[in-house]
Amino acid sequence: MAGSGKAHLRAKEETLLRVEDLTVEFPVGRGKVVHAVSGISFDIKRGETLGLVGESGCGKSTTGRGILQLPRPTAGSVILDGENLAGLSNEAMRQKRTDLQMIFQDPVSSLNPRRTVGEVVAEPLEVWGPANKDEQWAKVSVMLDAVGIDPDVARYKHPHEFSGGQCQRISIARALVLEPELIICDEPVSALDVSVQAQILNMLEDLKAEYGLTLVFIAHDLAVVKNISDRVAVMYLGKMCEVSESDELYAHPAHPYTQLLLTSIPMPDPLVTIDRQLSEDEGLPSPINPPSGCRFRTRCPFADEICERVEPQMRRVNDDHFVACHHPLVTIEESEVTISA
Amino acid sequence: MPTAGADATRLTKSQQTEPLLVVEGLKTHFATPNGLVKAVDGVSLSVARGKTLGVVGESGSGKTVLSRSIMRLNTAGNVITHGRVSYDGEDLLQESPKEMREIWGVEMAMVFQDPMTSLNPVVRVGRQMTEHIRHHLKVSKSEAAETAIELLRSVRIPEPEARFSNYPHEMSGGMRQRVCIAIALACGPKMLFADEPTTALDVTVQHQILNLLEQQQKDRFMTMIMVTHDLGVVAGRTDEIAVMYAGKIAEKAPTGELFADMRHPYTESLLRSIPKINQPKHTRLAAISGRPPDLINPPSGCAFSPRCPYAQPKCFEQTPPLTAAPAPGHQYACWFPVGSPEGNQAWETNMAAGRLQTLAAAGELNATEDIPATIGGG
């Protein structure tokens, strides 16, 4: 899309999380506003992993934080298990946050350097869990063990005594200790070496199977996102371009932006031909003054007059594949077209 | 135009065939309170004129220190450098700092990883470009400005005249990296080092910058060393690849040969641990257990042995030398190379013994960083 629409949303009863028309704007003075996220909708089923991809500045991290109401979105609803988080009072939201946890990009700076690992992972339980220290430790040690850290060795050590990969395991244990419904992973492996990245990705898959986790996985690396996600949403400049089941999206990208992202990936295979055309592509336009109509039109090879005038709406390509584009790269049967207004 | 750079036709026949850069037994160690960090520990390589060498490795493998040592950019007081760096017949390690100043920019230049911090934020882009054009090429201010605008145009910056007087913060990351490339190219270097030139950039911008570097290299007949952690970046764009591990070269081969017939278990593990877009979703990755080695006390024997799925008792005791493979230009440092009868035997033995590293590499076990290194009996 760089467009709007809700054709890709599934029945309310099936989903754990349903985000509708989420808008996050930040005032930057002189009456100007950064349109970080502009009316996006998506949903997640229980036990599913949704990948959110896009270039830096496309609003993917802001979307993740918007779900957590950190900060409160400008508009839109975030319905978790039938309850609209946007309508909750601050205290009710605080209570609700036990169901929502987050894993951050930089594992070393997301752990308090002055606390021991035992304290860091027990912190959520200090607030919400059993008051008894032994009961807390019992839970913490189970969690540390599940992420591949020896609990008895780690308990009295500090984060600096661990490598980046181990620190990320510790922050995953901290996120899991309250048994949340939904975990938002914001670039959890992009600060890690490739050999360690594979360990963490495999572990997330195992934990997901064991604890029935539902994940929102935010990343800029399309190969990583494909590996872990059931469904992928491509974002561009605060809008949603394309939502699809992962294998289908990578096999038959329908949005020109998805296509651009996919052809840009450097492939670890010398036999793959590289598109060597030079361009003056300047990247993302300013989110303060986004282009009219389709926001991708300034970089799109297919853009024409309608893209400037009319914002494209989400349309169904097939079963679980939706695109918001006036000139998609696949044929869409007219009968399936649903243009609202 | 003074920016023409090296030109194949200007060189004599013997100069063309002789490598531009020859590095022999280069060691760069850093004295620290915790001990001697052996960042580069005996590297030998050569790069032919007009060719591109990719240097690949994880963080801490010594790839950045290697390129900085060749260019003599390690200036801290605790650096100890040994070996020989022969550039066009001259030993760079013997040059005085003053002589190096005349080599930087004109003979060799570097593009750094982070375009956000490698430009001076309070100086206009134009002046950052003309400063060393005027110093090295001894031209007037207006001539230097003309050259700089021409360079900005050649790195595909739209409206170069207007951009000339911008400050770095007025440009995007990709634009700034284009400016850094233009600065590196300004005095027509014969050799260009690119140290993770696209790691800080988005994938679409990365693609454009890599295309640009490649085109500039061809046009100017430059020799290039591209340092990266991403095998994808070097796969389609280099003539030769050197894989580094713990300050040493683990494997070195022409690019096609390396991917077709890799011999070192580290190269194989690195390639297999990367998620690829042509794999179906939820493909289990062949993880490498353990973590990159400690460079103060590197493991005895082969530095990769504690993580290696093929490791045998010999690997923990004896350091393997760089051995020539049948294909020309292919070298590897391993006792039990991938694909050889000994290698296959070693894998079978480890699988049968249930070595955790081997099970992890086979995708049958969730690798953690704490798997003990020793093997049964060894």
Of the pLDDT bands very low, low, confident and very high (cuts 50, 70, 90), residue A1 is very low
Share of chain B above pLDDT 70, in %: 92
Residue indicated by tokens 């070195």: B252
- Does B372 reside within a domain? no
- What pLDDT sits at residue B192? 96
**Long-range contacts from A281-285, C-beta under 8 angstroms, 24+ separation:** A281/B174, A281/B204, A281/B205, A281/B208, A282/B158, A282/B172, A282/B174, A282/B175, A283/A55, A283/B172, A283/B173, A283/B174, A283/B202, A283/B204, A283/B205, A284/A55, A284/A57, A284/A58, A284/A237, A284/B172, A285/A237
Q: Tens of pLDDT along chain B (378 residues)?
A: 444 444 555 556 556 678 999 999 999 999 999 899 999 999 999 999 999 999 999 888 999 999 999 999 988 889 999 999 999 989 999 999 999 999 999 999 999 888 888 899 999 999 999 988 998 989 999 999 999 999 999 888 888 999 999 999 988 888 899 999 999 999 999 999 999 998 878 888 889 889 999 999 999 999 999 999 989 999 989 999 999 999 999 999 999 999 999 999 999 999 998 999 889 999 988 888 888 888 888 899 999 999 999 999 999 999 999 999 999 999 999 999 999 999 999 999 999 998 888 888 887 776 666 666 665 433
Beta-carbon contacts below 8 Å between A and B: 177
| Co-location of B310 and B222 in the same domain | no
User: Are B85 and B211 contained in the same domain?
Assistant: yes
B221 near A CB under 8 A: no
Tell whether B137 lies on the interface with A, counting CB pairs under 8 A. no
- Name the DSSP letter for residue B7: -
Report the pLDDT value the prediction gives residue B141, as an integer from 0 to 100.
93
B203 vs A264: CB contact, 8 Å cut-off?
yes
* Residue B251 resides in a domain: no
Contact of B368 with chain A, judged by CB distance below 8 Å, is answered with yes
Mean pLDDT of A60-69: 93
Q: Are residues B150 and B60 in the same domain?
A: yes
Residue B212 covered by a domain? yes
Per-residue confidence (pLDDT) for residue B4, from 0 to 100: 45
- Clarify whether residues B236 and B356 are in a common domain: no
**Burial of A305: CB neighbours in 10 Å, binned 0-12, 13-18, 19+:** exposed
| pLDDT for position A319 | 85
CATH code for position B227? 3.40.50.300
Q: Which of residues 18-57 of B touch A (CB under 8 A)?
A: none
Q: How confident is the model at residue A340 (pLDDT cuts 50, 70, 90)?
A: very low
B12 and B120 together in one domain:
yes
Query: For testing the chain B interface, which of A162, A194, A245 should be mutated: the one with the most B CBs within 10 Å?
Result: A194
Angle at B108 between CA B105 and CA B114, to 5 degrees: 80
Give the residue on A whose Cα is nearest the Cα of B209: A278
Would residue B281 count as lying in a domain? yes
**What residues make up the domain containing B342?**
276-361
Q: Do the domain assignments include residue B368?
A: no
Question: What residues in B contact A248, CB-CB < 8 Å?
Answer: none
Domain shared by B136 and B212, yes or no: yes
- Among A58, A195, A217, A224, most B C-beta atoms within 10 A, so best to mutate, is A195
Within-domain flag for B146: yes
Mean pLDDT of the residues in chain A: 90
Region A150-170: what's the mean pLDDT?
Answer: 91
Q: How many domains does chain B have?
A: 2
Task: Report pLDDT digits (tens) over A245-291.
Answer: 999 999 999 999 999 999 999 988 988 888 888 776 666 788 899 99
The answer to whether B281 contacts A228, with C-beta atoms less than 8 Å apart, is yes
State residue B159's pLDDT score: 87
What is the per-residue pLDDT for A3?
61
pLDDT at A334: 54
Most confident of A209-223, A268-282, A326-340: A209-223
**CB B218, CB B34: distance < 8 Å:** no
Q: Looking at CA atoms only, how far is residue A205 from chain B in angstroms?
A: 8
Closest CA to A143 of A115, A113, A179: A179
B291 interface with A at CB cutoff 8 Å: yes
User: Are both B75 and B13 inside the same structural domain?
Assistant: yes
Residue B367 resides in a domain: no
| B351 Cα to chain A: minimum distance (Å) | 19
CB atoms A278 and B276 under 8 Å: no
Most B CBs within 10 Å: which of A56, A172, A227, as the mutation test of the B interface?
Answer: A227
Q: Which tokens go with A4?
A: 């709007």
Task: Examine the domain organization and report whether B153 and B288 are in the same domain.
Answer: no
Residue B1 confidence (pLDDT): 41
Tell whether B224 and B280 lie within a shared domain.
no
Give yes or no: residues B68 and B29 share one domain.
Answer: yes
Is the CB of residue B212 less than 8 Å away from at least one CB of chain A? yes
The interface pTM score, or ipTM, of the predicted complex is: 0.85
A110's CB contacts (< 8 A; 6+ apart) are A104, A167, A171
Residue B299 and residue B213 share a domain: no
B111 and B218 housed in the same domain: yes
Residue of A nearest to B59 (CA): A193
pLDDT at A227 over 60: yes
- A-chain CB neighbours of B214 within 8 Å are 276
B161: which 2 tokens?
A: 């005249």
